[in-house]
Amino acid sequence: MDKNLNVVRSVQNRPLTLADKILLSHLDDPATTGMVRGQTYVQLRPDRVILQDVLGQTAMLQFMQTRRTTTAVPTSVHCDHLIQARVEGSLDLTESLAENDEVYNFLRTASAKYGVGFWSPGAGIIHQVAFENYAYPGEMMLGTDSHTPMGGGLGSISVGVGGADAVEVMAGLPWEVLYPRFIGVRLTGKMSGWTAPKDVILYLAGELSVSGGTNAIIEYFGPGAASISATGKATITNMGAELGATTSVFPYDERMARYLRSTRRGDLAELADKYRHLLTADSECEANPDQYYDRIVEINLSELEPHLVGPHSPDRARPISQMAAELKEDAGLVDSISAALIGSCTNSSYEDMSRSADVAEQAKARGLKSAVPFMVTPGSEQVRATIERDGQMRSLTDIDATVLANACGPCIGQWRRAGESVGNPNTIVTSYNRNFPARNDGQPSTMNLIGSPEIVTALAIGGRLSFNPLTDTLTAADGSEFRLDPPAEAPEVPPADFEEGRSFYQAPPDDGSAIELTVSPDSERIQLLEPWPAWDGNDFTDMPALLKAKGKTTTDSISPAGVWLRFRGHLDRFSDNMFMGAINAYTDEAGKGLNVVTGETGQGFSRIARNYKAQGVKWVAIGDFNYGEGSSREHAALSPRLLGGAAVIARSFARIHESNLKKQGLLALTFTDPDDYELNSEPDFPKVYGAFDSPREECGVIAVYSPDESASRLTFFGLFALQHRGQESAGIASNTGDGIAVHAEMGLVSQVFREADFAPLSGELAIGHTRYSTTGSSELCNAQPLVVDGPAGTLALANNGNIINALQLKEQLEDERGCSFVSTTDTEVIANMAVNAAGTSWEERIFQCMRRLEGAFSLVGLTSDSVIAARDPLGIRPLCLGKRGDGWIVASESCALDNLGAEFVREIEPGEVVVIDADGLRSAIWPGVREGKSRALCVFELIYFSRPDSSLDGHLVHSRRQEMGAELAREHPVDADLVIGIPDSSTAAAVGYALESGIPFTEGLIKNRYVGRTFIEPEQRLRDLGVRQKFNTLGEVIKGRRIVVVDDSIVRGTTTPHVVNLLRKAGAAEVHMRVCAPPIRHPCFMGVDMASRRELLAANNTVPEIQQIIGADSLGYLSVKGLMKVVGGQEGGFCDACFTGNYPVPVQLDLDKLTLEKSRH
């Protein structure tokens, strides 16, 4: 931490808050700069992951797909959620062990196999156990539960995340998160009397609301902070989740050191004392907090009153002194209390139990017991054993308290409650952390008001919500009136240290690789996960709105817990509860809606969604403000994805749920104007068009001959440099000497390959491919290289391009050669043509193919003893040759050669076939090239596709783009203050515009480079849809300025209006759009995914109309003449068909990228 912060301070010379210090010291790259709070995504390296037994099931199921043998960071599983409160702790635990045996065995076995610590049922609640064992100052911990921030009570940045986030960290990937804003809470004074740490967070909830902390860290400081015990601090940070905060944290102090020593971690306390300067904010931050925090809240602990919050929302707060008056005014509240519950992870500390026991002893001394059913949930076995030893438990049971199991129990809805009829309005009081409708007992009519454990204990004795223990009296058994005294100040840790109690922890073996982990296909509790089907590349149109969620829509509403918890490991069975608790604004009914296909009304949402899915109908959900608030349960995203959902469109999202949606491949979209929510009516069919607003290149290819080192490893590193050309799948084929071995999967290069994958890929010859589909859908069968056999032998082939007569060629191969096809991509067509072609050499066979292929291609192939490279006769797709030692490399771009330390030799010529083997390199050019056909390199390679550090036609792409910007400035000058580029592809052009015009260039837009990764969705594109359009503005730079925005192109026109609107909202005085490509009016059929004229903005609108559509003050496109002047194409040499309609070969204007798919049926 100290080392990393030294690096941070060398690049960021400013005072740091405590949250800054912990976050920045965990950066994947401590030298990262340019972070903007609330705008920039950062990559962090957490120290630990904790999983509870419900979300831990899906987390472990996802981790199984990573192919790792152990977790990359320390990880533990905690069995706390599945234990249902029924009678009392020991009996409930025994029944839970029997009922959940299959789940516990799965988690226990998986933990042992993958090196994960296992806390068996009875150990306690995940957050309390983690606080006692794993939390420490300066740490970063992730947990699959929204109340993980409890670790902030010990100075840890502990964050609740979805399972996919946790799995990525477990697999060794960094955690990507929006760098949060900071809310500073300055504490002064000292609590006394009935006031408890719980009242700090209850008061703050009323101040900030349930969404006021979204994408923010709440950092406490000030002289009052040191007066609160470590466990009191933990209560406060635990409930920061109810404000939507990313997490909450306190600075290190002696109270934390005392707790660490009491929990057998004195060595950590000594270390923290030594580095105290790292574990507190810099003095400047506390002296001038307004300069370093985005918002400041002042709380005087000496003046703070005990509070109650609720019902139905943790931000409905008031001092207890106002409760009686509110009861008189609000007829919906019920004064009589039906049950009181204390404990849970939030409030089961030794201090809490001692203060509650003090109140109970006062009642017992006057002959009183609890007036209502009264339950106590110890947070852990350590707490339970200690309060049993020291007498607090006896004090509570003497007034008829029932001690429940060391588990979550009623706090999360695991409560088989007796004595309350369904639908009967009733009041319960708890010291829990969450009180949404139906949260605790499954009954929406139950109203939960939350207070401190000592206040709840007093209310249990009083029996009425209107009872104020600070002022009201009770009647003793002898008829006398008395008032409860404030509980005495209690020790925060036991004088005799904690009693450990029974041992529930099972450490994993040193090597669990031999452990067998099986799941029965007939199980209703556990279901192995399958990869999501990949996106087909088409827009989402005419999607029915499954529901329009009205008002507060929590993850409890989307994915109810309670009786459904038993199915959490079986996604299909669990998804029967989807949206069961959500209020449908169309009908004001919970959980039901209209099936627009069948016309049936009053149908459950899960049933409707399954019907839509069976008919191939995608659907969308409409959400209100702060959609998805509450717990971190990712099932609220998993179930909609499983049942065919494509998007959620909401007024706003809760942080964790928005991340979960994206991780599972659902679009998380917001209304540009939140009031547009009101315009949606039933039936409505939202459309999501043109989720990508840039042209999309489909593939990168590479071939390697390396006699001195592993060709497959070199291919792997080369594919990294070509990743920008395709992100759906990646693959490598290698000649092992015994044949051709292939490893290809869906996903990014870094996901597809692990160390173990290279052992079968031995040999000195290899080819590689990274794909984005323009023919054939995004499916594993289309991942390349593809291997085919034929009379000429075995050939592995990978292609970058598009063959427009592929269907006719495929049908001929089927009819004349009896070929069968397993994929739906034209690459397999070319490969079958090659292995069935006449000729004595591969050059001759490829020439035979060239005679019949129409379109664009850059091929790399692998045979038993050679690698082959071929470029189409028009040179539409790029291909270059490099030399590395005694070996050769062919790649789509020269940046791949640079990445491998190879020397650029030349570009492969149009119509050239190159064969490389142990005898060297030989090449030939197809004679048909000389039959009057000119070269037609795709000009978009220079505008957008190729990396700026690649060279084409002997020129650096970066230089060409800068020249385009200069020409654009000459053609379309404007009087403005600043030039900015759309990051990242337009930066060079924006610099060129600025240099030519004399207008200063600056960075005004920050691109969210967040790329969600999950091992249960192997392709990235669908997740990117929701974030790739999003940019954030540097408001201080933009405000009041006249801005020139330079973009590389406008295709569909979906992103550009969003950018213009962002700049307007940031205060731009004027926004002038300048585009480095001419208007795109014609589809491309040569390997770029813009094959439909109806999608193209400029094909259907004039330039003035486009200016109006995008909302710019002016709009200027680079002319075709100007573009050709820059690239040197005045006399031909480039394909500009997308601008001019002049195609280098005849094309079918309604060509379908899924032609080969449809030919199957």
**Could you give the CA distance from residue 899 to residue 722 in angstroms, rounded to a whole number?**
10
Question: Residue 575 region, left (φ>0) first, then alpha (ψ -120 to 50), else beta?
Answer: alpha
CB 635 within 8 A of CB 578: no
Does an H or E element contain 794, and which? strand 793-803
Token pair 């949060």 in the structure block, residue: 180
3-state DSSP assignment of residue 355:
helix
CB 528 within 8 A of CB 58: no
Q: What is the pLDDT of residues 972-997, one digit of tens each?
A: 999 999 999 988 779 999 999 999 99
- When pLDDT is cut at 50, 70 and 90, the band that residue 1076 belongs to is very high
- When pLDDT is cut at 50, 70 and 90, the band that residue 662 belongs to is confident
Cα–chain-centroid distance for residue 1038? 29
So what's the pLDDT on residue 697?
Answer: 45
> What is the pTM (predicted TM-score) of this model?
0.64
Cα–chain-centroid distance for residue 371? 47
**Could you give the CA distance from residue 1038 to residue 1005 in angstroms, rounded to a whole number?**
9
**Could you give the CA distance from residue 117 to residue 111 in angstroms, rounded to a whole number?**
6
| AA identity, residue 492 | E
So what's the pLDDT on residue 686?
Answer: 67
Active-site residues: which are they? 80-81, 145, 434, 631, 633
Could you give phi then psi for residue 481, rounded to 5 degrees?
-95, 140
Neighbour-count burial of 1090, counting CB atoms closer than 10 A to its CB (0-12 exposed, 13-18 middle, 19+ buried) = buried
- When pLDDT is cut at 50, 70 and 90, the band that residue 1092 belongs to is low
Strand order in the sheet with 337-343: 317-319, 307-309, 446-450, 426-430, 337-343, 374-377, 401-403
**Could you give the CA distance from residue 347 to residue 196 in angstroms, rounded to a whole number?**
11
CA distances from 1085 to 254, 515, 578, 1148, 1152 (A): 69, 52, 42, 8, 9
Task: Find all residues with CB under 8 Å of 705, minimum gap 6, and list them.
Answer: 711, 764, 765, 867, 887, 888, 889, 916, 917
Averaged pLDDT, 303-314: 96
So what's the pLDDT on residue 1021?
Answer: 32
Radius of gyration of the chain (CA): 32
Q: What is the pLDDT of residues 112-148, one digit of tens each?
A: 999 999 999 999 999 999 999 999 999 999 999 999 9
So what's the pLDDT on residue 542?
Answer: 72
Does an H or E element contain 55, and which? helix 55-63
**CA dihedral (262, 268, 273, 279) positive or negative:** negative
So what's the pLDDT on residue 780?
Answer: 77
Tell me the two tokens of residue 214.
Answer: 């979204």
CATH topology of domain 945-1140: Rossmann fold (3.40.50)
Token pair 């692990």 in the structure block, residue: 754
Question: Which residues lie across from 698 on neighbouring strands?
Answer: none
So what's the pLDDT on residue 190?
Answer: 97
- Count the alpha carbons within 13 Å of 721 in the hemisphere toward its beta carbon: 23
So what's the pLDDT on residue 1159?
Answer: 52
**CA dihedral (171, 174, 176, 177) positive or negative:** positive
So what's the pLDDT on residue 298?
Answer: 97
Tell me the two tokens of residue 331.
Answer: 């007829």
Outline where DSSP puts E strands in 320-377. Answer: 337-343, 374-377
Domain 699-933 in this protein, CATH class? alpha beta
CB 1059 within 8 A of CB 1004: no
So what's the pLDDT on residue 135?
Answer: 98
So what's the pLDDT on residue 1025?
Answer: 35
Tell me the two tokens of residue 8.
Answer: 């941070």
Answer whether residue 454 shows pLDDT above 70: yes
**Could you give the CA distance from residue 487 to residue 359 in angstroms, rounded to a whole number?**
6
What is the domain partition of the chain in residue ranges? 307-482, 545-679, 699-933, 945-1140
So what's the pLDDT on residue 678?
Answer: 83
Closest CA to 484 of 399, 619, 366: 366
Does an H or E element contain 557, and which? helix 555-558
So what's the pLDDT on residue 1155?
Answer: 46
So what's the pLDDT on residue 422?
Answer: 66
- When pLDDT is cut at 50, 70 and 90, the band that residue 1089 belongs to is low
Q: What is the pLDDT of residues 880-894, one digit of tens each?
A: 999 999 999 999 999
Cis peptide before 80 (omega within 30 of 0): no
Task: Find all residues with CB under 8 Å of 724, minimum gap 6, and list them.
Answer: 700, 947
Mean pLDDT over the full length of the chain? 89
Write the DSSP symbol of residue 221.
Answer: E
CATH topology of domain 307-482: Aconitase; domain 3 (3.30.499)
Same topology between domain 307-482 and domain 699-933: no
Token pair 């929510």 in the structure block, residue: 677
- Which CATH code for domain 545-679? 3.20.19.10
So what's the pLDDT on residue 1086?
Answer: 61
Q: What is the pLDDT of residues 55-83, one digit of tens each?
A: 899 999 989 988 899 999 999 999 999 99
**CA dihedral (376, 379, 381, 383) positive or negative:** negative
As a dihedral over the C-alpha atoms of residue 1073, residue 1077, residue 1078, residue 1082, rounded to 10 degrees, the angle is -120
So what's the pLDDT on residue 33?
Answer: 67
Closest CA to 408 of 163, 143, 128: 128
Is pLDDT larger for residue 671 or for residue 301?
301
So what's the pLDDT on residue 1152?
Answer: 44
**CA dihedral (504, 492, 377, 557) positive or negative:** negative
Q: What is the pLDDT of residues 358-368, one digit of tens each?
A: 999 999 999 99
CA distances from 97 to 87, 91, 121, 122, 410 (A): 15, 10, 7, 10, 18
**Could you give the CA distance from residue 580 to residue 570 in angstroms, rounded to a whole number?**
17
Answer whether residue 1020 shows pLDDT above 70: no
**Could you give the CA distance from residue 359 to residue 401 in angstroms, rounded to a whole number?**
13
Cα–chain-centroid distance for residue 136? 26
Q: What is the pLDDT of residues 525-544, one digit of tens each?
A: 999 888 787 676 666 767 88
Task: Find all residues with CB under 8 Å of 650, minimum gap 6, and list them.
Answer: 622, 623, 624, 625, 627, 628, 668, 669, 670, 671, 677
- When pLDDT is cut at 50, 70 and 90, the band that residue 1041 belongs to is very high
Outline where DSSP puts E strands in 48-139. Answer: 48-52, 75-78, 117-119
Could you give phi then psi for residue 159, rounded to 5 degrees?
-130, 135
3-state DSSP assignment of residue 460:
helix
**Could you give the CA distance from residue 464 to residue 652 in angstroms, rounded to a whole number?**
38
Neighbour-count burial of 1125, counting CB atoms closer than 10 A to its CB (0-12 exposed, 13-18 middle, 19+ buried) = middle
Answer whether residue 92 shows pLDDT above 80: yes
Q: Taking the chain, what is the end-to-end CA distance rounded to the nearest angstrom?
A: 60
So what's the pLDDT on residue 529?
Answer: 85
Q: What is the pLDDT of residues 193-242, one digit of tens each?
A: 999 999 999 999 999 998 888 889 999 999 999 999 999 999 999 999 99
**Could you give the CA distance from residue 63 to residue 338 in angstroms, rounded to a whole number?**
43
| AA identity, residue 396 | L
Neighbour-count burial of 496, counting CB atoms closer than 10 A to its CB (0-12 exposed, 13-18 middle, 19+ buried) = exposed
Tell me the two tokens of residue 637.
Answer: 């995203």
Answer whether residue 726 shows pLDDT above 90: no
